[in-house]
Structure 1
C-alpha cells in the first residue's frame, strides 16, 4: 500500500541573529510545476527580446530613411531660390522689360521699325527656371549699356522718309554734265517741315555757309556727328544739349539747293559714311 503524496510543502526560514524561525507552506503542486513556470518565463523573455530587437532594427531603418529623406529635401531647398532672391530676380526681369519697351518706343518715334516684345522668350519662356540673381544683374547692366549706346548713335529718319538722292557719286543736280560725290542723303519735303535730331548730342555749329546754306552740326558719342543742311531756320545754337527726336530746325532751300529738301549727313571720326545704314536696325 503506497503512502499518499503530500499536498503541501513547508519551508522554514531561520534568523540566527534573533534565534527565531518562520515557516511558509506552499502547495506541493507548485513545486512540481516550477520547471514549467521557468520554461514559460524563458520563452516569454525570449519573445520579448526578439520583439525588442526587431523593433530596434525597424526604428533604425526608419531613422535612416528619415535622414535620407531630410537630405533629399535639403538638396531640393538649395535648388529653389530664396523668396528674396526670387523677388529680386522678378524685379530684374521687370526692369529689363521696361527698358526694352522704352527702346521700342524710342525707335518708333524716330521712324525705325522696332522689335516685338510679346513672346520674345519663346513658348518655353514661362516654364524657364530662374537663374541666379547675378545673371539677371549682368543682363540688366547689359541692357542699360545697350540703351545708353543707342540714344547716342544716329538712328532713324530726321525728316519725312521721302528719300530723293543717295550717298556717293551722282550727276550734278544743276546741269547733269559732270559727276560729284554726295556726302549725305536728301529728303524731299516742304518749306517749314520739322527736322529732328537722330541721337542725343551737343550742337557744335549752327549757322550758314555757301554750300550747306543754314545748317546744324551735332556731335554725339563714339566719334559720331550728324549734319542737317539747307534749312530755312535753325532752332538751336552752339553748345545746346540735344535729345534724340528733338526738333532742331525747319526744312528749306538755302545754300546750293534746287528746291526744299534736307541734306543729311552722318560722320564717323570726321569722315562721311552712308546714312542709309542708320535709318533702320536691319
Structure 2
C-alpha cells in the first residue's frame, strides 16, 4: 500500500511543461513553455521537418551553384557567339571586297574589249548591207543596259573558253634540258641544229598532260619524233608531244586540259627518256616557254 502511494506521488511530480530556450539573430534569448506530452509526441515530426529543411537548404545551395555555373557558361557562350559573328562579318567583308575587285577586273576587261573593238559585230559584206530594213523607223532600246549583268557574264565566259583552248601550263613538271631555237647537236656535240620545242627531263612511263582542250589530229609514229600525239585547239594553236613510250589517245578523240595523253619515252631520234613539246600556229613552231605561265 505504501509503495503504490509513493508511485502515484512520483507520477504526480513529473512536470507537465518543458521550457524551450530560443536564441535570435541579435543574440537575444527568449524562453517559452511547451506542454511536455505535446513536445514528446511531436518529436518525430520536428525531426522530420528538420531533415526536410536541411534537405531543402542543401537543394537550394546546389541549385544556386548550378545556376551560377549556367550563367557563367551562358556568358562564355554569348562571348563565343559574338566572336563568331564578328569573324563571319569579317569573312563576309573580305568576300565582298574580293567581289568588288572581280567586278573591277571585269569592267576593265569590258573597257579593253571595247577599245579593241571585240564587242562590235564583224564587218558585213556589201551583199549583207543590201538586206531590207524593218519598217517603222530606227530601233531604239526601251531602257539602258544594266551594268555587270549577262553581257559581262558572257564576255567572262568567252574569255574562259579562249583560255581553255589556248595551250597554257606545263605538260610535265620536270626541269628543262633543252630550249627553243638553235642548239648544239645532242648526239655529236658539234654543229648546230634548230630545236622547234622544249625538252623536259623525265622518267620512262611518266604521264604527259594535255595543255588545253582540243581534238587529237595525229596519234602514231612521225619520223624522228617517234611516238607522237598532236592536238588541234579551237584557238588555232596546235600542240605536239613526242618520243612517247605509250600513246593513250586515239585519232579524233576530244581531250581536256590536264588529261593524260601518253607516257614519257625515248622513241625516235632521242638520247634518253624525255618529253619533247611544241606549240604551233599555222604550222609554224612558236617558243612554248612563252605559254608555260601567264607571266
Tell me the TM-score normalised to structure 1 length: 0.54
Task: Show the 5 A alignment for 1:146-157.
Answer: 146-157=159-170
Tell me the TM-score normalised to structure 2 length: 0.52
**Aligned partner of 1:180 among 176, 193, 207:** 193
Q: Given the superposition, is the C-alpha separation of residues 202 and 175 from structure 1 closer, same or farther in structure 2, using an over 3 Å criterion?
A: same
- In the TM superposition, residue 266 of structure 1 has moved relative to its aligned partner by 0.2
State the partner residue of 1:218. 231
- In the TM superposition, residue 120 of structure 1 has moved relative to its aligned partner by 6.3
- In the TM superposition, residue 138 of structure 1 has moved relative to its aligned partner by 1.8
- In the TM superposition, residue 132 of structure 1 has moved relative to its aligned partner by 6.1
Task: Show the 5 A alignment for 1:22-33.
Answer: none
**Aligned partner of 1:119 among 78, 95, 98:** 98
SS at match of 1:119: helix
CA contact (8 A) 2:174 2:202 kept: no
State the partner residue of 1:89. none
The RMSD of aligned alpha carbons is 2.4
Task: Show the 5 A alignment for 1:42-57.
Answer: none
* Separation in structure 2 between the aligned mates of residue 203 and residue 160 of structure 1, nearest angstrom: 22
* Separation in structure 2 between the aligned mates of residue 169 and residue 120 of structure 1, nearest angstrom: 47
Pairing 1:229–2:242 present? yes
- In the TM superposition, residue 119 of structure 1 has moved relative to its aligned partner by 3.0
CA contact (8 A) 2:178 2:198 kept: yes
SS at match of 1:245: coil
Aligned residue pair count? 162
SS at match of 1:148: helix
Pairing 1:159–2:159 present? no
- In the TM superposition, residue 134 of structure 1 has moved relative to its aligned partner by 4.2
Q: Deviations over 1:176-201 (max 9, x none)?
A: 11100000000001000000100111
* Separation in structure 2 between the aligned mates of residue 225 and residue 158 of structure 1, nearest angstrom: 14
Gaps spanning 5+ residues in structure 2: where?
1-95, 105-143
State the partner residue of 1:260. 273
* Separation in structure 2 between the aligned mates of residue 275 and residue 223 of structure 1, nearest angstrom: 15
- In the TM superposition, residue 164 of structure 1 has moved relative to its aligned partner by 1.0
* Separation in structure 1 between the aligned mates of residue 189 and residue 148 of structure 2, nearest angstrom: 59
* Separation in structure 1 between the aligned mates of residue 239 and residue 189 of structure 2, nearest angstrom: 27
- In the TM superposition, residue 260 of structure 1 has moved relative to its aligned partner by 0.5
Q: Given the superposition, is the C-alpha separation of residues 271 and 242 from structure 1 closer, same or farther in structure 2, using an over 3 Å criterion?
A: same
**Aligned partner of 1:244 among 240, 257, 272:** 257
- In the TM superposition, residue 214 of structure 1 has moved relative to its aligned partner by 0.5
* Separation in structure 1 between the aligned mates of residue 207 and residue 221 of structure 2, nearest angstrom: 18
Gaps spanning 5+ residues in structure 1: where?
1-116, 126-130
